Amino acid sequence: MLDSEVEFYTQPNYTGTAHTYPQGTDENLFPDALTDKFASVRIGNRAKVFFWNYEGESGERSELTADSPDITDIGRPTRFLVADSATVGIMIGFADATGATPGRHSLKADSFLVGSVTIPSTTSGSHLSLIGKMDPSGQPVTTAVFVRDESTGAYVAVGSVHFVLNDRWIEVSDSNLPENLKCQRWADRVTNVFIFTLTNTE
């Protein structure tokens, strides 16, 4: 196995049949899950694996960066992408500050990498989804976002955001978002997680 490759095994502890994948591999296994086929993985020094399910959801874990003798704790992702180890995943959450019941609103993001992602609202934005990746080349990522009222079907916010890699630090431009939808970094020292917050429905 090369440093730029990953090797999945059908059994735990790097046993069973080995399957090697080079950088750039983008496998959609639906309706099967990654963990239906494989139970452990070795990761090359210059590689990492992003994973998510067919609905775009990835949960709090969305990547593998080191050898793992047991990958059953990653859930049931249906798609994976082998990337350069320097590639940074972009994750988002959706918080509702309007006082509505959690799940009343949902945020839909159209992503080139994972397709259409729908995130139900929470009060904190804790439900995270992978929506894109920033390559070492620094190519920007633009994502359209829509907030929908699930009880009426009406869209209460529509816009887009622009992610740019600046010295391994992801910056976001939110000038194309409506006033009632804010996008902020999840925490000061976290480069790649952003929370969208719906402030009102006017």
With cut-offs at 50, 70 and 90, classify the pLDDT of residue 3: very high
Q: Does domain 88-198 have CATH number 3.40.50.1100?
A: no
- Top-level class of domain 5-84: mainly beta
* 64 pLDDT above the threshold of 90: yes
- Bridge partners of 163, per DSSP, are 141, 172
Average pLDDT, the chain: 89
Residue ranges matching CATH 2.60.20.10 in the chain: 5-84
pLDDT tens sequence across 28-45: 898 899 999 999 999 999
C-alpha–C-alpha distance, residues 70 and 189, integer Å? 29
Residue range 118-131, pLDDT digits in tens = 888 987 777 778 88
Total-model pTM: 0.78
Given a cut of 90, is residue 202 above it in pLDDT? no
Residue 61's pLDDT band (boundaries 50, 70, 90)?
low
Task: Report which of residues 200 and 169 the model is more confident about.
Answer: 200
Where in the chain do CATH 2.60.40.1720 domains reside? Answer: 88-198
Write down the pLDDT at residue 75.
85
Evaluate if residue 170 carries a pLDDT over 80: yes
89-98 burial: b if 16+ Cβ within 10 Å, else e: bbbbbbbbeb
Give the model's pLDDT for residue 59. 52
